[in-house]
Amino acid sequence: MGKEIKLCLVYRDMWQSSGKYLPRVDQLKRVAEPIINMGCFARVETNGGGFEQINLLFGENPNKAVREWTQPFNDAGIQTQMLERGLNGLRMRPVPADIRRLMFIVKKKQGTDISRSFDGLNNPQNLENSFLFAQEAGMIAQGALSLTHSPIHTVDYYVDLADKYIALGAQEICIKDMAGIGRPVSVGKIVKGIKDRHPDTLVQYHGHSTPGFSVASSLEAARNGADIIDVGMDPLSWGTGHADLLTIHEMLRDAGFSLPDIDRKAYMQVRSLTQEFMDDFLSHYINPRNRKMNSLLIGPGLPGGMMGSLMADLEANLKGLNKWLGKRNMPLKNQEDLLLELFEEVEYVWPKLGYPPLVTPFSQYVKNAALMNVMQKTKGKERWSMLDENTWGMLLGRSGQLPGPLGEEIQGLAKAQNREFFSGKPQDLYPDELELFAAKMDQNNWDYGEDDEELMEYAMHPTQYEDYKSGKAKKAFLEDLENRKAKKAGAAKAALNIPVSVKANVNPQPKTMNINVNGEHYKVSVSYDENAVNVPQIANPPATAPASAPPAPASAGTTSNSSPMEEITAPLEGKFFLTRESGEVPIKVGDTIQKGTTIAYIEAMKVVNAIASDKEGTIVEILARHGEEIEEDDVILRIQ
């Protein structure tokens, strides 16, 4: 009998590596029992990461979801684990220490056994509190090494990093291969290095399958001492997700390891339910490209967990970019062009940004910087002319020290904008806020919830929580879902109503068609009756701008003394804010602004972008409204 290897089903990450949403709590409760009955899992990842925000965006309570979803596994003796982002807790930006401490208390009482804590920059100082707070709450503290591949991120780097995590209180180590670009032999060497120094420390391997290394990496990890391997399962394995349970199970058994049998009847139940959830509504938020493996990602190294949001961002930005190009009678771009340009730009910008590991949230920052560079270059502007404030926080050291030095052009840009670097402990920048949110809940007569879980939720996700409480989130989600359903139904109908003019016996009849409707690709099956006529092949229209001249811009008008007015427009679409912080003073009519003055902010792609004026003058009108959505090229304000 060979060494025992345990398996962990990352059911939460399976969904979030494929698309935007997860199943509702009623669906999760249905699939819990057959997962347990499969009999092969020692652990199941139930929550963490974006789980909380997803439920709030549904307009549903994430605390109810965690409690009811984890309970069956607790009863069955299967360990549950969550993913948390160190300094960022369960969100994309830093969290005060008192809120982080309460989070661990709440999650343990809700039934979560293990906290997998990672820092996007692999900074031990940002995880010290995570290990401390997890153990204080009675959880197992697992430290995750965010794996990437660069001249800096070597085998010795990661083995030494594990030493630091364990010294700070990590009870287990996870090799978090979030992009699946860890080379298999190197993964094995990292595991062996850790086990040689810490033979009693449990090591768990987590690898995404995107570029195709993860099966070999799982085997190398197991051969070198890993104790647990994370897996996904059909229909959400492979692609940007994880290697499939059946493949890993059979491979490890063939290699001589001992694993429990899989109950195939229960397996088919889980598989069927997962597909049912997709058919219900979740497939509307899964880009088909995320179901495919892609070796092109070996270069940029973007993680599977962010590919769902990346494709959504790409779609939104492509629409805005083509709108801009169309107005100027310039050739339009398609999604494939933009995706390839983005991958190439990521490879360029990553070293300039100090080689941050490409994991949440820093993978988003690198991707956003690259995408903005591509967009701006297309418009004839310079690189780095749109660098968001979250990325600047990373570059200036507000999240901790970067692994590598910043490129000269970034250092020059920071100097030109009078930005100051920070070298202290990042947590010190974010003072306690729990009392502040408790006071707000008191004002609203909101209950703190069992074990103060509602207070924790509000403090962790204030904007989303308020939208949930008001019903705004539920309404927006249902409207968006209906729009997506209608769009897909309309596309299918349009595909079947293509005009015909050639008799059926002239040319062979196609059985399927690939149809492009408004940038969306659909494969349509075609059937014929005896009176049918053949459908001619219709080529997709070329990616060129409309032949007609663009509409004339709205008149900017003149003032009473005939001085012309100029407009400042939005460089991207998103949610518009006049201020970012509560103490910040917004611009107003009558203010004089200079070139480079920050006039407002636009939140897009999970980050906040400062909007700088490219003109100087006196504000005579502000058209954009605080807190509302704004389109690219919409007029923000007019100046004289």
Highest mean pLDDT among 105-119, 279-293, 549-563 belongs to: 105-119
The CA-atom distances, in angstroms, between 425 and each of 127, 349, 429 are 12, 26, 8
CB within 8 A of 518, min separation 6: which ones?
491
pLDDT band at 447 (very low <50, low <70, confident <90, very high): very high
pLDDT band at 207 (very low <50, low <70, confident <90, very high): very high
Looking at residue 458, its pLDDT comes to: 97
Question: pLDDT, tens digit, for every residue of 81-91?
Answer: 999 999 999 99
Task: Write out the two tokens for 462.
Answer: 């204030």
3 state SS of 205: strand
Model confidence at 141: pLDDT above 60: yes
Looking at residue 514, its pLDDT comes to: 56
Question: pLDDT, tens digit, for every residue of 595-617?
Answer: 877 888 888 766 677 888 878 89
Sign of the alpha-carbon dihedral angle for 372, 373, 376, 377: negative
Tell me the average pLDDT of the chain.
86
* Mean pLDDT for the stretch of residues 323-343: 84
Model confidence at 630: pLDDT above 70: yes
Model confidence at 251: pLDDT above 80: yes
Looking at residue 380, its pLDDT comes to: 87
CB within 8 A of 264, min separation 6: which ones?
none
pLDDT band at 27 (very low <50, low <70, confident <90, very high): very high
Range name among 464-468, 469-473, 578-582, 595-599 with the lowest pLDDT average: 578-582
How far apart, in whole angstroms, are the C-alpha atoms of residue 77 and residue 432? 36
Looking at residue 543, its pLDDT comes to: 39
pLDDT band at 523 (very low <50, low <70, confident <90, very high): low
pLDDT band at 548 (very low <50, low <70, confident <90, very high): very low
* Mean pLDDT for the stretch of residues 462-476: 94
Which residue, 241, 204, 140, 234, is CA-closest to 5?
204
* Mean pLDDT for the stretch of residues 253-277: 97
pLDDT band at 545 (very low <50, low <70, confident <90, very high): very low
Rg, C-alpha atoms of the chain: 26
Model confidence at 361: pLDDT above 60: yes
Question: pLDDT, tens digit, for every residue of 83-122?
Answer: 999 999 999 889 999 999 999 999 999 999 999 999 989 9
Range name among 25-34, 39-48, 240-249, 409-418 with the lowest pLDDT average: 409-418
* Mean pLDDT for the stretch of residues 180-199: 97
Looking at residue 320, its pLDDT comes to: 78
pLDDT band at 63 (very low <50, low <70, confident <90, very high): very high
What is the percent of the chain where pLDDT is above 90? Answer: 57
> Angle, nearest 10°, between helix axes 307-327 and 335-352?
110
pLDDT band at 555 (very low <50, low <70, confident <90, very high): very low
Looking at residue 322, its pLDDT comes to: 84
> Angle, nearest 10°, between helix axes 51-58 and 453-460?
90
The CA-atom distances, in angstroms, between 366 and each of 37, 353, 370, 371, 559 are 42, 8, 6, 9, 43
Q: Which domains does the chain have, with CATH numbers?
A: 6-291 (3.20.20.70), 299-429 (no CATH), 566-639 (2.40.50.100)
Q: What's the N-to-C CA distance of the chain in angstroms? A: 82
DSSP code of residue 168 = H
pTM of the model: 0.78
How far apart, in whole angstroms, are the C-alpha atoms of residue 28 and residue 36? 12
Model confidence at 505: pLDDT above 70: no
DSSP code of residue 125 = H
* Mean pLDDT for the stretch of residues 204-230: 96
Sheet order of strands, 617-622 included? 566-569, 635-639, 617-622, 592-593
> Angle, nearest 10°, between helix axes 462-470 and 472-496?
80
Range name among 70-74, 305-309, 551-555, 590-594 with the lowest pLDDT average: 551-555
- Across 347-367, b (16+ Cβ under 10 Å) vs e yields eebbebbbbbbbbbbbbbbbb
Range name among 23-27, 318-322, 370-374, 565-569 with the lowest pLDDT average: 318-322
CA angle, 161 then 100 then 393, to 5°: 65
